[in-house]
Structure 1
Amino acid sequence: MKIQLKRLNDNYHFETVNERGNVIHLDNKSEPNPQGASPMELLLMGIAGCSGIDIVMILKKQQLEIKDLRMDVEGFRKDDGTVPNTFTRIHVKVYLEGDIPANKAQRAAALSFEKYCSVAMMLEKAAEITYDVTVNGKPVE
């Protein structure tokens, strides 16, 4: 797995490209008009994408119909001025719509965050990862 990075302006705007030609823009979020996601935001996007793939795959294998999948991911960092300012906790809210039993949705999320998602497995070494699941507007207990 390889990516390339190219600086696009005289500040912090970068373009990254993977081996398949997919492009992601990065920038310093403290710039007045950032032109891309910050590297720390990309980590949160990575856990959402990785887990989303897992959850869809697990539910599809059970032949369950997923009408929609959304996630809200929030990263919590130390606010004490230390550098590096890493995430100490990440919380993911998973929202599923469709003909999906609550227990199967919860199990799919658990398998993803606790076993299959490579991004979560890497990040959990540095930050506590928690999640909750909502199916068709109802929180799963």
Structure 2
Amino acid sequence: MKITLNRLNDNFHFELKNQRGHVVNVDSRPEFGGDDQGPSPMELVLMGVAGCSAIDMISILKKQRQQITSFKADVEGARVQVGEAKPFKDIYLVFYLEGNIQEDKAAKAAQLSFDKYCSVSKTLEPTATIHYKVILNGFELEKL
């Protein structure tokens, strides 16, 4: 896996491209000297956790022939000061699923994602605690 970065202005606006040609812009907020032309690198980390776990969960549920009509997620990160850096200490995800999905299968899909499959959350696991819950058809599920 390889990513290339190209600076686009005199501040912190960058274009990042993967080997398949997909492009993401990254920047910093104006209060930190940027021009707000894209998400910050830390926002991309949160996007990575949400996207990785969503792919896992949908893949698992599709294999179990569950009918997903809507899949959304909210993710928030709480950071802590460590020297000059502010890494994530806690990451909170809420998944909103709708469709003809069995409760136990939805809960198990989330559990498997975070316990076994999601490489992004596994990468962050040594330094951040990931908390999640699943809301299925408007009702919060109990964790397994």
TM bracket, shorter-chain basis: over 0.9
Cα drift, residue 125 of structure 1 = 0.9
Distance 1:51 1:31 in 2: 32
| Matches of 2:56 and 2:7, distance apart in 1 | 33
Unpaired stretches in structure 2, ≥5 consecutive residues: none
Residues of 2 paired with 1:82 and 1:106: CA distance? 38
Aligned-pair Cα RMSD in Å: 1.3
Shift of 1:82: 3.7
Query: Matches of 1:107 and 1:50 in 2, distance apart?
Result: 16
Query: Where has structure 1 moved over 2 Å in runs of 4 or more?
Result: 29-33
Contact 2:94 2:134 in 1 (8 A): yes
Find the counterpart in structure 2 of residue 113 from structure 1.
114
Q: In the alignment, residue 136 of structure 1 is paired with which amino acid?
A: N
The equivalent of 1:56 in structure 2 is: 58
**How many percent of aligned residue pairs carry the same amino acid?**
51
SS in 2 for 1:11: coil
What secondary structure, in the 3-state scheme, does the structure 2 residue paired with 1:10 have?
coil
2:67 to 65, 88, 102: 65
| Structure-2-length-normalised TM-score | 0.93
- Contact 2:28 / 2:34 at 8 angstroms: preserved in 1? no
Residue 19 of structure 1 corresponds to 19
